[in-house]
Amino acid sequence: TKDDVFENALALYFENQEKALTEITEKTKKDASLFLEALFTYFEKEAPAFAKTFNKNVHWTIRFAVRTKFVELVRPHMEEVVSILASDSRMPYAVAVTAKTASDMLVGAALESENGYFAKNKEELHRILSHILGLDRASGRRREIPSFLL
């Protein structure tokens, strides 16, 4: 049926996203700043693709469901990194609350229906998330991402 085709397409889409997020987490989880940089790089690429696929061709309820699923995919990866920060005593907030807040903010901004929102606001978003995670981001400059993450 049409619903089965749609479900299968979404399952494949999220399977690929999960693989990418797992790779990012595994390669960067010991360095929260690098993890955040890698997530921003990932969403810089993913946001336009998401917008092209979901913003014009799909009903808003489906877009919202996909966004919610994306948050669910990002949250455990964020929580893993936040837990490492907490174990180093650099995390001033509760791990689960911080991971949920950071995931909601990042995914919400990246998958915002306004065309180009993430790209236009990425530096400010990065500063805010760095602050929430207790990372030094005063310079406002982004670190170079190692080529193996691109």
pLDDT digits (tens, 9 = 90+) for 9-62: 788 888 989 999 999 999 998 888 888 889 999 988 888 888 787 777 778 888
Query: Which pLDDT score is estimated for 72?
Result: 93
Kindly state the percentage of the chain with pLDDT values over 70: 85
SS3 per-residue string spanning 47-116: HHHHHHHHHCCCCHHHHHHHHHHHHHHHHHHHHHHHHHHHHCCCCCCCHHHHHHHHHHHHHHHHCCCCCC
Q: Which residue has the higher pLDDT, 115 or 84?
A: 84
The pLDDT of 129-146, averaged and rounded, is 61
> Could you give the percent of the chain with pLDDT greater than 90?
22
Predicted pLDDT at 52: 80
What does the pLDDT read at residue 106? 92
What's the confidence (pLDDT) of residue 18?
93
pLDDT at 74: 93
- pLDDT, tens digit (0-9, with 9 covering 90-100), for 94-129: 888 889 999 999 998 888 767 788 888 988 998 888
Residue pair 110/47 in contact (Cβ under 8 Å)? The answer is yes
When pLDDT is cut at 50, 70 and 90, the band that residue 78 belongs to is: very high
